[in-house]
Amino acid sequence: MDSLQSIWKRRFAEYQMETQKYLKYVFTGHLMIVIVFALGAGGLAYSEWLKVIPEQFPVALIATTLLALTFIFRNPATLFREADAVYFLPLEHQLTTYTNASLRWTTGTKFILPIVTAIVLLPLINTKYAFAPLEIFIFFAILFAWHVLLTRGEWYYRHSHRGRNMYVLYIIHYALSWGLIYALLMNWYVVAAAVLVVYGYSSQGVWKKRALTEPFPFDHFIELEKNRMMRFYRFANLFTDVPHIQGKVHRRAYASFLMTASKPFEKEKSFQYLLSRTFVRTDELFRLYLRLFVLMAFGVAFIESQLLMIVFVGSLQFALVSQLLAYLSQTKHFKMDRLFPIEQKGRRDAVEKIVFQLGTIQIFIIVIIAFFVRDKMVEGLLLFVLLQAISAMTMFSTRPKS
C-alpha cells in the first residue's frame, strides 16, 4: 500500500483538478468584470462613508462582532472517502501523517476569510484608534495564532466527541473570539493572553488527550467531507450542470400546511399532493424558496428607491417562479408516480397550481412587510399586482406549445 503521505498528495491533486473543472465556469470573464466593478464601487462608497462617520459610532463593537463571526466554523477538509473506513483501519496508528497534512491545508485556506475581513475593517478601526504599524503586526499575528488554535481545537473536539454537540463548540468559538478581538482593540493584551491560554489548555490538553484514547471516528469525518464537497457542487451548479448533486430530504412537520391537497387519495389531487410533498421535504427546493423570500424582504425593507426596489423584487420573483416550475416539472428521472393509474397530463396543471399558491403566499407576506416598513398603501398594492403579473407571465411563457 502507498504511504499515507503519497495518498494525501495524490488526492489533493485530484481534488484540485475536480474543483478547477467547475470553477472555470464560475469565474468567467464577465463575472470577473462585474466583481471588479462591484469591489470598486463598494470601496469608493466605503471610503466616502469613513470620512463622515459619526463620532459616537461603536467602531469596536461593530468590528469585533463582524470579525468574530469569521472564526466560528473551522470544519476540517480531509478528502476522506467511504472506503477509508475499512482500508485505513490497519494504519490508524500512522494516521497523523495524513491528518497533519489535512490540518495544514485547512489552516491555510480557512484563514482567508478572517484576514480579508480584518483588512477591510482596518480603515474603520484606524478612524478611531489609529494603530501604529507594530500594533497592526501584533494584531494580525495574534489573530493567526488564534486561528491555528481554533482549527486544531475543532479537530480534537470532533475526534473526542465524534461530532456531537457541535453547536456548543461554535458558541464557545464565537464568545472567546469576540472577547479576544475586543481585548486587542482595547490594548488589553493580558486579557487576550488569558483567552489564548484557556482555550489552548482546553483544546490541546483536555480534548487532545481524550482524542488519543478514542478510536478515530472515520464515519463522522467521511460524512463531513461528503457534505463539504456537496456544498461546492451546489454552488457550482448555479453556473453549470453538475452530475454529482445529491438532494436530501427532511420531514419538516411545521410546513405540512403547504401540502395543499385536503384529500390526497383522490385521483384528481394525486399530483398536487405528491408535488407538495416534494417541495416541502426537498432541501434544495425548500431552501431556495426561503432564500429568495429573505432577499425579497430585505429589498423591500432597505432599498429606498421605489424603482430599484421594484426591479430587484421583480427579478427575484421571476427567478423563484421559473426555478420552481423547472424543478417540479422535470421528468428526466424515473418517478414512482409513473406507475400510478393516473393520467400524466395532469402533472403540469398541478405544478402551475402549486407554484401559483407558493408565489401568492410569498407575495402576500412581502406586501405586508411593505405596508409596515414603507407605510405606503398604494405602493404595496402596486407591488402585489406587479409580482402576481410576473408570476402569471412566467408560467404562461414556460407553458409548452400544444
| Model confidence pLDDT, tens digit, residues 323-374 | 888 777 765 554 665 666 566 566 777 787 888 888 888 888 888 888 877 6
Least confident interval from 21-30, 118-127, 271-280? 271-280
pLDDT of 258 over the 90 cut: no
At 190, is the pLDDT very low, low, confident or very high (cuts 50, 70, 90)?
Answer: very high
Select the more confidently predicted residue: 109 or 43: 109
**What would the mean pLDDT of 366-390 be, rounded to a whole number?**
78
Looking at residue 157, its pLDDT comes to 93
Highest mean pLDDT among 48-52, 181-185, 247-251: 181-185
pLDDT of 401 over the 60 cut: no
Sign of the CA dihedral with 187 first, then 190, 193, and 198 last:
negative
Q: What is the pLDDT of residues 223-242, one digit of tens each?
A: 999 989 988 887 787 677 77
Looking at residue 10, its pLDDT comes to 93
Looking at residue 130, its pLDDT comes to 80
Task: Quote the distance between the C-alpha of residue 268 and its chain's center.
Answer: 39
Average of per-residue pLDDT values in the chain: 83
8-state DSSP, 1: -
Looking at residue 335, its pLDDT comes to 60
Q: What is the pLDDT of residues 79-94, one digit of tens each?
A: 999 998 888 888 888 8
DSSP string, 337-402: GGGSSS-TTHHHHHHHHHHHHHHHHHHHHHHHHHHHHH--HHHHHHHHHHHHHHHHHHHHHHSPP-
Q: What is the pLDDT of residues 22-67, one digit of tens each?
A: 888 887 776 677 778 778 877 888 888 888 888 888 888 999 999 9
Amino acid residing at 54: P
At 402, is the pLDDT very low, low, confident or very high (cuts 50, 70, 90)?
Answer: very low
**What would the mean pLDDT of 121-137 be, rounded to a whole number?**
88
pLDDT of 269 over the 70 cut: no
Looking at residue 106, its pLDDT comes to 94
CB half-sphere exposure, 162, CA atoms < 13 A: 7
d(CA 52, CA 38): 22
Question: Phi, psi at residue 304, to the nearest 5°?
Answer: -75, -40
Which CA distances in Å does 307 have to 310, 318, 344, 389, 391? Answer: 5, 16, 42, 17, 19
* Residues 303 and 309: beta-carbon distance below 8 Å: yes
* Residues 387 and 315: beta-carbon distance below 8 Å: no
At 113, is the pLDDT very low, low, confident or very high (cuts 50, 70, 90)?
Answer: very high
pLDDT of 295 over the 60 cut: yes
Does pTM surpass 0.75? no
d(CA 198, CA 203): 9
* Residues 361 and 289: beta-carbon distance below 8 Å: no
Select the more confidently predicted residue: 15 or 32: 15
Looking at residue 292, its pLDDT comes to 84
Select the more confidently predicted residue: 136 or 340: 136
* Residues 229 and 81: beta-carbon distance below 8 Å: no
- Grid cell for residue 304: 429606498
Which residues, at least 6 apart from 327, have a Cβ–Cβ distance to it below 8 Å?
A: 284, 285
pLDDT of 250 over the 60 cut: yes
Work out the percent of the chain whose per-residue pLDDT is above 90. Answer: 30
Select the more confidently predicted residue: 221 or 360: 221
Which CA distances in Å does 263 have to 122, 248, 353? Answer: 60, 26, 16
pLDDT of 153 over the 90 cut: yes
